[in-house]
C-alpha cells in the first residue's frame, strides 16, 4: 500500500503531498491540472520495482541498478524529450524531488533529478525489498485491438507511444488462472460478462475475440466501450488484479455509457474489497456520484476512500484532499455539469436563464 506521495517541482506541481488510503483514491480536476501525471508518477517506480524483482531472483535493490532504470521508466511513461523536462523550473530551484512512502517501510523510495538530467535519477532513499506484484495501468485508450504483435513491434522499434500501453499489453497476454484463483476470478467475471453479453478469448493467432451466443466477434468490431470492459475482464481472469496490488485507471468513464459505467464502478469496488489499492483520475460527475451512492451500500461501506481535488494556482497546482468530496473544493468541470442540469430543467419549465450563477455541489 502506498501511504504518501510527496513531490516538489514536478511538471505542474510546485509542492504537493498526497495521503492515500488503502482502498479507493479518486483524483479529480480540470484538464491540464495534472491528474494523469500523478497516476504515472506513482506507477512508474512501482513498475520498475516489480519488474526488476522478477529479474534479480532474490538480489536486493541497489542504487546502481535502480537509478538508470527509474529514469528510463519515467521517460518511457511520460515521453518527454528528456528526463529533465519533467522538472518544474522555478527561480533559484530547478531540482525535482519525489518521495513515496509505503505501509511497509522497507519499500520506501525517494529520488531526485534536475532540469539538466538525461539518463539517471539520484536515489536518496533506497527500498530494501522489491515490489511483490506488478501494478496495472489502464489508459484512456482501449488496448484490446492494439494487442496483436504490439509487444514485438514496440520492443523492436522506437514508437512515440506511452510505455504504459506496452506494460498493460504484457499483462493482457498472461495465461488465464486456474484453481482457487480462477474460481475467485469467475465471481468477478460473471457481472462483466453480463455487461458484454459474452466472454473474452485470446486465440492462437494472438488476437482477442468476444464470444457471444451467436459466435465469435473480432475485437475491432466490438463497441469501444465494451472493449474497455473486456480489458478489465481479461486482467481479472489472468489473476493480475487479484494479487493485492495496485490499479491505476485514467478516466474510466471514457467511451462508456452510464449503464456500463455502473457495472465498472461495481467491479472497482469489488476489487477494493479484494485488497487492491485503486487510483482513479476523472472529471466525470456521474462517476463520482455513482461511487458515492454505491459506497453507502452495506457491503461497500467499510471501504476506505480518499478524494483529491486539483486546483490551478499562479504558483502551480494546489491539492485539496479529504475523506469526502466536500473536502476538495469546487471543481469547475463538475460545476459545469450541475449548471447544465439547472439550465435544462429551466428550459422544461419554460424559462431560460442566459448566465446562471454556479452553485456549490454541497447545495445541489
Residue-range domain boundaries for the chain: 1-135+245-329, 142-243, 330-364
How high does pLDDT run on average in the chain?
Answer: 87
1-135+245-329, which class in CATH? alpha beta
The structure's pTM equals: 0.90
Indicate if the pLDDT at residue 339 is higher than 80: no
Give the pLDDT confidence of 144-178 residue by residue, as tens digits. Answer: 999 988 998 988 888 889 999 999 999 999 888 77
Grouping H, G, I as helix, E, B as strand and the rest as coil, residue 75 is helix
Q: Which of 143, 299, 176 is nearest to 242 (CA)?
A: 176
Q: Which of 10, 16, 17, 12 is nearest to 33 (CA)?
A: 12
CA 128 to chain centre: 25
Alpha carbon distance 92, 319 (integer Å): 23
String of DSSP letters for 329-354: ---HHHHHHHHHHHHHHHHHTT---S
Give the pLDDT confidence of 190-220 residue by residue, as tens digits. Answer: 888 888 888 999 998 889 999 988 889 999 9
Q: What is the pLDDT of residue 218?
A: 92
* Residue 205 neighbours by CB under 8 Å, 6+ apart: 148
Within 10 angstroms of residue 263's Cβ, the number of other Cβ atoms is 17
Q: Which of 268, 321, 322, 260 is nearest to 291 (CA)?
A: 268
SS (H, E, C) 200-230: EEECCCCCEEEEECCEEEEHHHCCHHHHHHH
Q: Extract the C-alpha cell encoding 72.
A: 528510463
Amino acid at each position: 500500500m502506498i501511504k504518501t506521495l510527496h513531490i516538489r517541482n514536478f511538471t505542474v506541481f510546485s509542492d504537493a503531498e498526497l495521503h492515500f488510503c488503502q482502498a479507493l483514491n479518486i483524483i479529480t480536476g480540470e484538464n491540464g491540472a495534472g491528474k494523469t501525471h500523478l497516476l504515472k508518477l506513482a506507477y512508474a517506480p512501482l513498475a520498475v520495482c516489480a519488474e526488476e524483482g522478477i529479474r534479480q531472483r532474490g538480489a536486493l535493490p541497489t542504487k546502481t541498478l535502480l537509478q538508470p532504470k527509474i529514469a528510463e521508466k519515467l521517460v518511457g511513461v511520460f515521453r518527454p524529450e528528456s528526463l529533465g523536462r519533467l522538472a518544474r523550473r522555478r527561480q533559484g530551484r530547478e531540482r525535482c524531488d519525489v518521495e513515496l512512502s509505503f505501509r511497509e517501510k522497507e519499500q520506501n523510495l525517494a529520488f531526485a533529478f534536475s532540469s539538466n538530467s538525461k539518463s539517471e535519477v539520484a536515489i536518496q532513499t533506497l527500498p530494501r525489498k522489491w515490489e511483490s506484484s506488478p501494478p496495472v495501468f489502464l489508459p484512456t485508450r482501449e488496448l484490446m485491438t492494439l494487442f496483436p504483435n504490439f509487444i514485438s513491434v514496440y520492443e523492436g522499434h522506437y514508437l512515440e507511444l506511452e510505455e504504459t500501453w506496452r506494460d498493460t499489453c504484457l499483462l493482457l497476454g498472461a495465461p488465464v488462472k486456474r484453481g482457487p484463483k480462477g474460481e475467485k476470478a469467475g465471481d468477478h467475471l460473471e457481472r462483466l460478462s453480463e455487461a458484454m453479453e459474452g466472454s473474452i478469448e485470446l486465440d492462437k493467432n494472438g488476437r482477442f475475440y468476444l464470444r457471444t451466443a451467436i459466435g465469435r466477434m473480432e475485437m475491432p468490431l466490438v463497441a469501444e466501450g465494451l472493449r474497455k470492459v473486456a480489458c478489465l475482464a481479461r486482467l481479472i481472469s489472468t489473476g493480475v488484479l487479484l494479487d493485492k496490488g495496485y490499479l491505476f485507471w485514467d478516466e474510466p468513464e471514457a467511451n462508456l455509457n452510464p449503464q456500463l459505467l455502473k457495472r465498472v464502478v461495481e467491479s472497482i469496488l469489488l476489487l477494493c474489497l479484494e485488497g487492491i489499492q485503486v487510483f482513479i483520475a476523472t472529471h466525470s460527475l456521474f462517476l463520482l456520484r455513482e461511487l458515492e451512492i454505491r459506497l453507502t451500500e452495506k457491503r461497500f461501506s467499510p471501504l476506505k476512500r480518499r478524494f483529491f481535488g486539483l486546483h490551478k494556482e499562479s504558483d502551480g497546482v494546489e491539492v485539496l484532499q479529504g475523506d469526502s468530496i466536500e473536502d476538495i473544493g469546487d471543481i469547475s468541470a463538475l460545476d459545469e455539469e450541475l449548471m447544465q442540469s439547472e439550465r435544462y430543467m429551466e428550459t422544461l419549465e419554460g424559462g431560460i436563464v442566459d448566465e446562471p450563477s454556479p452553485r456549490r455541489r454541497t447545495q445541489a
